[in-house]
Amino acid sequence: MGKGSGALGILMRARGAILIAGLLVALIVLSGSHRAFIVGILIFIVALLVSVMLHELGHFLTAKRFGMQVTQFFLGFGTTLWSFFRGETEYGVKALPFGGFVKITGMTRMEEIDVADEPRSFRRQPGWQRIIVLAAGSFMHFALAFFLLFVLAIGIGMAQNSNQISAITTCVPASAAALNSASPCAGAAPGRSPAEKAGLKPGDTIVSLAGQRVTSFNQLHTVLKGKQAGVPVPIVVVRNGHDLHLTVTLATVHKYDVPFLGMEPVPVYQRESFTGAVAFAGTQFGDTITSSASAIGQLPAAIPDLFAKDRAKTPAGDVSSVVGVGNVTGDVVAAAIPWQAKVSLVLFLIASLNIFVGAFNLLPLLPLDGGHLAVVIYERIRAWFNRLRHRPDPGLVDVQKLVPVSLLVFAVLVGFGTLLIAADIFNPVHLQV
Annotated catalytic sites, by residue? Answer: 56
DSSP class per residue in 27-89 = HHHTTT--HHHHHHHHHHHHHHHHHHHHHHHHHHHHHHHTT--EEEEEEEEEEEEEEEEETTE
β-strands 232-239, 242-249: how paired? antiparallel
| Helices and strands counted in the chain (H then E) | 11, 8
The candidate with the shortest Cα–Cα distance to 151, out of 277, 285, 304, 286, is: 277
CB 138 within 8 A of CB 369: yes
CB 64 within 8 A of CB 150: no
CA–CA separation, 22 vs 25, rounded Å? 5
The candidate with the shortest Cα–Cα distance to 420, out of 295, 335, 303, is: 303
CA 276 from chain centre, in angstroms, equals 22
Peptide bond into 367 cis (omega under 30): yes
Name the maximum alpha-carbon separation found in the chain.
90
CA–CA separation, 121 vs 104, rounded Å? 7
CB 72 within 8 A of CB 88: no
Measured N-to-C along each axis, helices 6-29 and 403-426 cross at an angle, to the nearest 10 degrees, of 0
Cβ neighbours, 10 Å, residue 323 = 26
Helix (H, G, I), strand (E, B) or coil at 130: helix
DSSP class per residue in 142-175 = HHHHHHHHHHIIIII-EEEEEEEEEEE--S--SB
CA–CA separation, 413 vs 55, rounded Å? 19
DSSP class per residue in 224-249 = HHTS-TTSEEEEEEEETTEEEEEEEE
- Phi, psi for 110 (deg, rounded to 5): -75, -25
